[in-house]
Chains A and B, each alone.
Chain A
């Protein structure tokens, strides 16, 4: 593997073009219910913030001027009844032989059979439901959690989602409860010109543990739509969360999300991302190590092709002493695709004895594809260990010849090398089914023209 660090120069000539269009949503779109106050405040923030522009640092490499914002509508009630149903394959368990519970989110509400949760989990006080059900049945919990980890002020899309999201999930695992079988939620977004807004609220209380898989998906060749998501997760003291997040949006989807996991004292998080879909993605993922001894691992897999644009912004915030973070994002690019990874490790003055690691590796398989990789460190404590690495490489000719000399045709040899490139990510994923999904994604992307 040829690996050379790439420095991305900050300046770029700006074309004096019109700003991105505005959304057509109104305050009348705000849902009623226990979150109404929270939503109204978020709406004010949304109205005040302008559309992100490439003049802002976080958006410099992701241009929204092509976003047809004014064409997106919130789904009408029960819109899903006239749209493509969830493919059965998405509901197959991938982290165990079966699920302890399942939530399927569809545009305009959910069908009656979209919620399941084991009796034994219900008895132990576990809550796992779609947002509308949760607002009805657990208003106090929902009100307590919404806006607690990600604030509406953090961005236009965060505010939009906070104000208008009808879809979402509430997961609550009470103190000391171990959920053995993983929980799955699917956000299914078929249709065209629809704004899918989703808000996930997760609280793994002190000493509890759970594996949670969330996948967002839509038909591969669907029309132009958008998704904006908020993911707010609290991992309590001594609690443990394995969070698998899969992004399989169709080629027409503009995808935005603000996600943060806050980990308490002695808590641990294993966060796995897989991104293969969407037309454009801008994703802010943040690990916040809030309590002493908290540990978090972030493992990212992405593969872009065609004209896809995937922009992942990651942040590892060490706010307390003896905290550990370990991030590895690996991506491959084909066609005219583009990826951006911008990472930051922040160590607060009090966060002594911190160990932070971040690495991003990219494999560019086409001369027209491009990967930007921008690591960053901001360290305000003096007794810490922080390392980072960022590389952009391509397939070398010598290994390719070596494999061919053993009778392996060039396409298979390239696929083998790409699989080899991703192997360090696979090694970090404790779920056979998730690894198989990523292998399948590599296979599909390599086969595609």
Chain B
């Protein structure tokens, strides 16, 4: 069983500590949501898990499938089965979606077998067509330059298309709902749900509860000040929807958990 285990993670960027002792375990087949106000370190967690070079881990451990993830480059983490859907996908001018995906698939195949000749073109085309239909994407999409001039919705769909193609065992979705209208949100969520199952662990990072109407988590965590301060079931997200984050702030930023906000 693939398990992502994060222990006492401390992360700094340019000398400033953002994550201050974060603990989290996500098992294959589980859907977790991390919610929290802006500036609390959610995206830092996402980037750090994927190995972005700007983030420095000063303390703590990250394990996946028994491997010490912090020793691995981003591409090694990806090939190990980790995936990050970016909040702000990066444009790669001059490289088409299809060319990029084929390169990514072939890179993975070559690591398993250095003699691999790459995925046969007809097989690749068939697979891509199938995944694009799943995400209700126009077939011309494959020929466009990756994320170059894409609308917000197209970018997020392209992220899920990559996820569908690369078949990770754990997927981290960083603010996947941002910039999506309700139709796009539904398409993207349907895509994620179609990929979910006993093989896939999902970590949804979101500011708003909205996305969780479509992607239903079994576990919800509240993040504040670089740590996870509350964990619970789906009802915790609903509670946040009704109450906002103020009660969390009051509870964890104003000393100990003595103040309990009374609902109106």
**Chain A residues at the B interface, C-beta cutoff of 8 Å:** 1, 397-399, 401-410, 412-413, 416-417, 419-424
Output the nearest chain A residue to B101 by Cβ-Cβ distance: A406
Contact A402 B95 (CB under 8 A): no
Q: What B residues does A413 contact at CB under 8 A? A: 75
Contact A420 B79 (CB under 8 A): no
CA distance A1 to B162 in the complex (A): 22
Determine whether B141 belongs to the interface, using a CB cutoff of 8 Å to chain A: no
Output the nearest chain A residue to B90 by Cβ-Cβ distance: A402
CA distance A357 to B81 in the complex (A): 48
**Total A-B residue pairs with C-beta atoms closer than 8 Å?**
78
Output the nearest chain B residue to A424 by Cβ-Cβ distance: B94
A412 to chain B, nearest CB (A): 6
Contact A410 B73 (CB under 8 A): yes
Contact B103 A416 (CB under 8 A): yes
A-B CB proximity, top 9 nearest:
A420-B94, A423-B94, A407-B78, A420-B95, A404-B74, A402-B90, A404-B75, A406-B104, A407-B79
Residue contacts A-B, CB under 8 angstroms, 6 given: A401-B74, A404-B78, A405-B78, A405-B84, A412-B103, A419-B95
Contact A409 B107 (CB under 8 A): yes
Task: Tell me whether A404 and B73 are in contact in the complex, defined as CB-CB below 8 angstroms, given that A399-B91, A420-B93 are known contacts.
Answer: yes
Task: Tell me whether A406 and B94 are in contact in the complex, defined as CB-CB below 8 angstroms, given that A401-B53, A416-B100, A416-B103 are known contacts.
Answer: no
Determine whether B36 belongs to the interface, using a CB cutoff of 8 Å to chain A: no
CA distance A419 to B92 in the complex (A): 10
Determine whether B52 belongs to the interface, using a CB cutoff of 8 Å to chain A: yes
Contact A398 B53 (CB under 8 A): no
Contact A408 B94 (CB under 8 A): no
CA distance A1 to B91 in the complex (A): 9
Output the nearest chain A residue to B84 by Cβ-Cβ distance: A405
CA distance A406 to B79 in the complex (A): 8
CA distance A417 to B108 in the complex (A): 18
CA distance A420 to B77 in the complex (A): 25
Contact B90 A399 (CB under 8 A): yes
Contact B94 A398 (CB under 8 A): no
Determine whether B252 belongs to the interface, using a CB cutoff of 8 Å to chain A: no
Contact A407 B107 (CB under 8 A): yes
Contact B145 A408 (CB under 8 A): no
Determine whether B86 belongs to the interface, using a CB cutoff of 8 Å to chain A: yes
B216 to chain A, nearest CB (A): 26
Q: What A residues does B77 contact at CB under 8 A? A: 405
Binary contact readout B57-87 vs A (1 if CB under 8 angstroms, 0 otherwise): 0000000000000000111011100011010
Contact B90 A408 (CB under 8 A): no
Determine whether B33 belongs to the interface, using a CB cutoff of 8 Å to chain A: no
Binary contact readout B86-124 vs A (1 if CB under 8 angstroms, 0 otherwise): 100111111100011001100110010000000000000
A1 to chain B, nearest CB (A): 7
B80 to chain A, nearest CB (A): 9
CA distance A406 to B171 in the complex (A): 12
Contact B75 A410 (CB under 8 A): yes
CA distance A318 to B107 in the complex (A): 49
CA distance A413 to B78 in the complex (A): 14
Contact A412 B94 (CB under 8 A): no
CA distance A403 to B78 in the complex (A): 10
Determine whether B152 belongs to the interface, using a CB cutoff of 8 Å to chain A: no
Determine whether B224 belongs to the interface, using a CB cutoff of 8 Å to chain A: no
B55 to chain A, nearest CB (A): 11
Task: Tell me whether A420 and B145 are in contact in the complex, defined as CB-CB below 8 angstroms, given that A402-B90, A405-B51, A407-B104 are known contacts.
Answer: yes
